Amino acid sequence: MTATSLRGIHSIEDFDLDDQRVFLRCDFNVPISNGVIQDDYRIRAALPTIQYALEKGAKVVLASHWGRPTKALEDRPQFSLEPVARHLNLLLDKEILLLEDPRGEAAKPVLAGLKSSQIVLLENLRFETGEEANDRELAAAWLEFTDIYINEAFGASHRAHASVVALPGLVEKKGIGFLMKKEIEMLETIRSHPAHPFTLVLGGAKVSDKIELIDMLIDKVDVILIGGAMAYTFLKATGHSVGASRVEGDKVKFASELMERMRSRGKKLLVPQDHVVVKDLRDVSSTRVEVGASIMEGWMGVDIGPQTRQLFAEALAESKTVFWNGPMGIFETPEFSSGSFAVAHAMVESSATTVVGGGDSAACALASGVVDRFSHVSTGGGASLEFLQGQRLVGLEALRPPKRSESL
Ligand code: ADP
Ligand code: MG
């Protein structure tokens, strides 16, 4: 079944790629520290489309942004896509040329002389001031070496930037890659037609970050499981003491209203019944399990406890669709990661369609060791949430063929 949002939008498979120059906008905005890629999930997610284009004989021009480079030239090396080029070289076992100045004189013959199944990577798109300004002239310069435009950068598709909006606006043959297709199809399932019971698993740092998502999905969900720091605001709303845990005082009312909304509709909202707590975040040796929902004075909740993991696992086992956004605890610290990992395992062991959204949640799914067993782990942080909240993605809209009246 094709997602409604994709109606009228071409897929890379619709085009004859042989000998064509394909501008493949990817999202290689991966964590890099001291030149070393920390997590290549987003790069690997684009490989099927890159490989497909190469197999079909395309001349592949890869493009991506990375980080938020300052305009100072001397800062450029730390924002270079050089580590990405090296990594792609390893993954594809193919030579990849990094074009430092894609619009410069030196690049022209390289781009003009590209052969079928060859591949180049343009240097960080954000080195161009016109990129974030959605500049048409910049897009026109890229058009010089573009026959077909493919958007595979789901994570950047909510931004009106030149490589996402202005360029496809100038190209006739345009469409999406396999990753983009899966992102939209899976998120549309969550948004529009989830199989029931549909369980929403929420965690992370703040209730306020999740309110729009809750509002968007509340009519569809059957069960909400709440962990992470946001759980303490809910516990506070039910009159429990939460010790030194993070609480958003101004969201206590929202929490109690949500619990009431769920209750009155006969739906389940589960909060933690026990916790992993610490006295001092810098001293993990103070870690202990707090039996019971209340937390003692001076202690801080950092993960869901064993009884809660069991409770959540039981709800997940009965689910047919699961959407997860927000880790159950401070999973970046190994001592506080067990709750999130237990929930990840329970999800993949259920027969449900399981979709993970959010940057930290994707990192958590990856660290859980079972990332490949989720139905889908979205590569888009902000983009996936905007899409779920019902917003149109500008990058997707730019791929629709113009309506007849517009093209006259
Ligand atoms: P996503 O990026 O997937 O949307 P969030 O940004 O909402 O997720 O939340 C992730 C962050 O929440 C993590 O960095 C994690 O450390 C933090 N977090 C989870 N539980 C707690 C807690 N009990 N106390 C403080 N921070 C927490
Ligand atoms: Mg986050």
How far apart are the C-alpha atoms of 19 and 14, rounded to whole Å? 15
* Ligand 1 contact via 208 beta carbon (within 6 Å): no
User: Using omega within 30 degrees of 0 as the cis cutoff, is the peptide bond preceding 31 cis?
Assistant: no
Residue 382 pLDDT: 80
Residue 247 alpha carbon to ligand 2 centre in Å: 17
Pocket test for ligand 1, best of 330, 335, 371 (most atoms within 8 A of CB): 330
pTM of the complete model:
0.91
Q: Are strands 148-151 and 97-99 parallel, antiparallel or unpaired?
A: unpaired
Catalytic residues: 42, 206, 359, 382
- Ligand at shortest distance from the CA of 337: 1
- Minimum CA distance residue for ligand 1 atom 11: 204
pLDDT in tens, the chain (408 residues): 578 889 999 999 999 999 999 999 999 999 999 999 998 999 999 999 999 999 999 999 999 999 999 878 888 899 999 999 999 999 999 999 999 999 999 999 999 999 999 999 999 999 999 999 999 999 999 999 999 999 999 999 999 999 999 999 999 999 999 999 999 999 999 999 999 999 999 999 999 989 989 998 999 999 999 999 999 999 999 999 999 999 999 999 999 999 999 999 999 999 999 999 999 999 999 999 999 999 999 999 999 999 999 999 999 999 999 999 999 999 999 999 999 999 999 999 999 999 999 889 999 999 999 999 999 999 887 888 889 888 899 999 999 987 665 544
In angstroms, the Cα distances linking 221 to 338, 356, 392 are 26, 15, 22
- What spacing in Å lies between the alpha carbon of 209 and ligand 1's midpoint? 10
User: Ligand 1: which residue has its CA nearest to atom 7?
Assistant: 204
Distance 362 CA to ligand 2 centre (A): 9
* Lookup: tokens for 176: 């999406």
pLDDT at 408: 46
